[in-house]
């Protein structure tokens, strides 16, 4: 008898999945058997490569099951429509990957208000709105897993402050508290960040031209492996934690 895959029968909603870390996580969850909603604003190619259609097509071509779902995490109406589309197509939602994000790492005194607000709107309020929208669907399935993608930068207080790190730190506080609130519903709630820098398309576009030494670079597939482990959790397993990918999952060369 052939053993099933770990996420057979599960449905994952991956926000911010048109490229980079989100695309890698979507592919990993699909490879593990989940039906995946590939959600993001990117419906057509723009300045930064990657669309929800190209990612979903690649998953389907590899034998997985995915649909492209347009979603702007700053719009409650857009999120509602995206969640409704996913539930209509797949019958429910078991896993949320809240990965949509924008990067701004300039010093506070040189940060325009619109950049500060955009980081809060996408990186923090977007996670709040997505999480709020999917909780009833996880509860209806008897449990599930909520995962917010954050950053090790929240711990680097010796490197000053910026809008990106502040918004991600707030998400970690939100999810640590939410784990306690949702334990009764059998829902695991965790944060996950890369241990090192993942050179995504977004980083290349907004990283300010910073040169990253090879030893500080982490392949995006590591985040996929780590997210897969957390996606299999419910409240009886790993919950209420802030995980770093290479601590959760050993490096491939070990």
> Which residues are identified as catalytic?
164
Q: Where are the domains of the chain?
A: 11-248
pLDDT at 254 over 60: no
Average confidence (pLDDT) over 202-211 = 57
pLDDT at 232 over 50: yes
pLDDT at 207 over 70: no
Confidence class of residue 110 from pLDDT cuts 50, 70 and 90? very high
pLDDT at 253 over 80: no
Distance CA 151, CA 124 (A): 13
pLDDT of 206 reads 55
Architecture of domain 11-248: 3-Layer(aba) Sandwich (3.40)
Structure tokens at 188: 């695991």
Confidence class of residue 181 from pLDDT cuts 50, 70 and 90? very high
pLDDT at 10 over 60: yes
Average confidence (pLDDT) over 116-124 = 97
Average confidence (pLDDT) over 184-193 = 97
pLDDT at 123 over 80: yes
pLDDT of 122 reads 97
As a dihedral over the C-alpha atoms of residue 82, residue 85, residue 89, residue 95, rounded to 10 degrees, the angle is 30
pTM summary value: 0.92
Three-class HEC string of 66-134:
EEEEECCCCCHHHHHHHHHHHHHHHCCCCEEEECCCCCCCCCHHHCCHHHHHHHHHHHHHHHHHHHHHH
18-57 per-position pLDDT tens digit: 999 999 999 999 999 999 999 999 877 666 778 999 999 9
């Amino acid at each position: 008898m052939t053993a099933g895959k770990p996420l057979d029968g599960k449905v994952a909603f991956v926000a911010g999945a048109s490229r980079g870390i989100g695309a890698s996580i979507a592919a990993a969850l699909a490879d593990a058997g989940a039906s995946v909603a590939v959600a993001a604003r990117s419906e057509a190619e723009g300045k930064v490569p990657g669309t929800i259609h190209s990612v979903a097509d690649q998953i389907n071509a590899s034998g997985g099951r995915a649909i492209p779902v347009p979603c702007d995490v700053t719009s409650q109406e857009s999120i509602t429509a995206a969640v409704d589309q996913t539930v209509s197509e797949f019958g429910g939602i078991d896993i949320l990957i809240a990965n949509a994000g924008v990067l701004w790492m300039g010093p506070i005194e040189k940060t325009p208000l619109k950049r500060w607000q955009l980081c809060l709107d996408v990186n923090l309020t977007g996670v709040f709105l997505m999480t709020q929208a999917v909780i009833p669907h996880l509860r209806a399935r008897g449990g599930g897993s909520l995962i917010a993608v954050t950053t090790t930068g929240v711990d680097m207080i010796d490197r000053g402050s910026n809008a990106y790190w502040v918004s991600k730190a707030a998400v970690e506080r939100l999810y640590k508290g939410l784990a306690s609130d949702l334990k009764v519903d059998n829902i695991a709630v965790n944060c996950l960040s890369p241990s090192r820098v993942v050179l995504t398309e977004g980083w290349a576009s907004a990283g300010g031209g910073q040169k990253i030494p090879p030893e500080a670079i982490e392949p995006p597939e590591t985040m996929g492996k780590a997210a897969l482990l957390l996606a299999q959790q419910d409240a009886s397993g790993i919950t209420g934690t802030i995980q770093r990918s290479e601590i959760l999952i050993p490096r491939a060369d070990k």
